[in-house]
Amino acid sequence: MPSRRRLPRTVELEVLGQTEDGFGFGLAVGSKYVVKGALPGEVVSARVLGRRKGQVLAITETVQNAVDDRTEPFCAVFPRCGGCSNQQWEYREQLKFKERWVRRELSRHQLWCGSFMPTQHGSTTHYRRRARLGVRWIDKVGEVYVGFRETFGSYVVDMNRCPALVTGLAELIGPLRALITRMSAPKKIPQVEVVAGDKARALVLRHLEPLTVSDFNLLSAFSNAYDVWVYGQSGGYETVTRHFPAGDPNAKLTYELANDGVSIEFGPTDFIQVNSEINHLLISAVLKELDLGPEDRVIDLFCGIGNFSLPAARTAKSVLGLEISSTSVEQARRNAERNDLSSATTFLASDLYRPINNELTKTDYKMLLDPPRSGAGPELGRFAHRAKRVVYVSCNPTTFADDAAVLDRIGFQLERVQVFDMFPHTNHVEIVGSFGRSERS
């Protein structure tokens, strides 16, 4: 929790504008206040939580004059819960806000886009098929809370279900609380990851002390009762082990990309796109922008377990997928095998923030990249120099614009941009940018 020294318990202020996260801000007693759950033009009374980086952080308690864009939050723990940013705001306004953010970042580099396509969105609740939930022992109630961390803080929210999680995970929170509370060392369980495939769901319990026989009995009964695969994690990701149900401990979760005739297997801690519905839209958009023919070679940077590479390999001559995680690369290879695409695909483990020397980058290709928030890294120009087209999937408007500027300098033109609302009611923005060779290149 940030420092609360010499701050009032509550503050009343007029909301003057919005931060990049979509939180309201205003001025009171000489300080800038960032207020979650408040909209520009409103006067709100807010509970002060602390100070961070010269700003005072607060969450809305009452609103004196609701603006037209205000709507009723659908979750009882909003705005206290840090899982969502903006349930109080009409959804269509949130989408416009995300689009404006991308435009603002591009204009920071004086980049102009040929066409800004309509934002793609899907279900606004029950969309998350993966979440990392905090676990915290609460002395005064003698049980654990399991859930998202509180807004601007590290405490875990007192919740029993979460309407952002897909059905099947949403209602697992209450039973998880009861389970962990009964375990031998509930204070030594800091987090639990929950993840859903199309056919099965799993949880990964991080434990700082060895599990006892009675813990295993409880976990076995839980796995049976809720039809969930239970994994334990005693250290790093390499220690993740499936305990229940009995049977193949290496069995994988799966999701289907029916439009592309691809079936993807994944482990409980592998990266997957969190929103299945939006993932389908994303893949369609990427394939459309790559405009593949049977002679095309594709390089898929930051390819993970092959989410884009394998659909692309259904049409392209060959796909080279590069990715830092060797377990993801192995999984991508297994996914190629199970889809009969091994002869069209090569997956290699590489740190793409360092120079790599691969023969395949010396011929013409179409390039796809989907980097982490930190962006494509210093080698982007080198990777792109022989590319005929670049399709860039980004989860960060700022690094997307920075990288678009690099591509612009080496002769690419941003032809189309589209926002995908992967995480409704949060400040997360997913973008697909499509770059062709500009006339001057």
Ligand X SMILES: C[S@@+](CC[C@H](N)C(=O)[O-])C[C@H]1O[C@@H](n2cnc3c(N)ncnc32)[C@H](O)[C@@H]1O
- Cβ distance 21 to 425 under 8 Å? no
The nearer residue to ligand X, 265 or 370, going by C-beta atoms, is: 370
The nearer residue to ligand X, 273 or 413, going by C-beta atoms, is: 273
346 forms bridges with which residues in the sheet?
320
Query: What kind and span of H or E run contains 364?
Result: none
Compute and round to an integer the Cα radius of gyration of the chain. 23
Is 75 among the catalytic positions?
no
To the nearest whole angstrom, how small is the minimum distance from the Cβ of residue 321 to ligand X?
Answer: 9
Compute how many other C-beta atoms are within 10 angstroms of the C-beta atom of residue 254: 15
CA distance 155 to 404: 38
Pick from 234, 239, 253: which is nearest to 194 by CA? 253
Pick from 246, 247, 179: which is nearest to 211 by CA? 179
Say how many CA atoms lie within 13 Å of 64 toward its Cβ: 12
To the nearest whole angstrom, how small is the minimum distance from the Cβ of residue 275 to ligand X?
Answer: 12
Helix, strand, coil share of the chain (percent; to 5)? 25, 30, 45
To the nearest whole angstrom, how small is the minimum distance from the Cβ of residue 135 to ligand X?
Answer: 25
Of 75, 84, 162, 395, catalytic = 395
The nearer residue to ligand X, 87 or 269, going by C-beta atoms, is: 269
Q: For residue 115, give the 3-state DSSP assignment.
A: strand
Q: How far are the Cα atoms of 68, 99, 275, 343 from residue 306, in angstroms, in the given order?
A: 44, 28, 16, 14
Residue identified by tokens 């940018």 is 433
The nearer residue to ligand X, 79 or 304, going by C-beta atoms, is: 304
The residue number whose beta carbon is nearest to ligand X equals 304
The nearer residue to ligand X, 86 or 275, going by C-beta atoms, is: 275
The nearer residue to ligand X, 50 or 372, going by C-beta atoms, is: 372
Q: What is the amino acid identity at position 35? A: V
To the nearest whole angstrom, how small is the minimum distance from the Cβ of residue 354 to ligand X?
Answer: 8
To the nearest whole angstrom, how small is the minimum distance from the Cβ of residue 45 to ligand X?
Answer: 39
The nearer residue to ligand X, 33 or 347, going by C-beta atoms, is: 347
CA distance 343 to 238: 29
- Where b means 16+ CB within 10 Å and e means fewer, 87-125 reads bbbeeebbbebbbebbbebbeeeebebeeeeebbbbeeb
To the nearest whole angstrom, how small is the minimum distance from the Cβ of residue 166 to ligand X?
Answer: 17
CA distance 397 to 329: 27
To the nearest whole angstrom, how small is the minimum distance from the Cβ of residue 283 to ligand X?
Answer: 8
Residues 210/214/219/225 CA torsion (nearest 10 deg) = 180
- Cβ distance 388 to 361 under 8 Å? no
To the nearest whole angstrom, how small is the minimum distance from the Cβ of residue 99 to ligand X?
Answer: 21
The nearer residue to ligand X, 102 or 272, going by C-beta atoms, is: 272
31 forms bridges with which residues in the sheet?
28
Token reading at 272 = 């997957």
Residues that bind ligand X (CB under 6 A): 271-273, 302-304, 307-308, 323-325, 328, 351-353, 370-372
Q: What residues are labeled active site?
A: 395
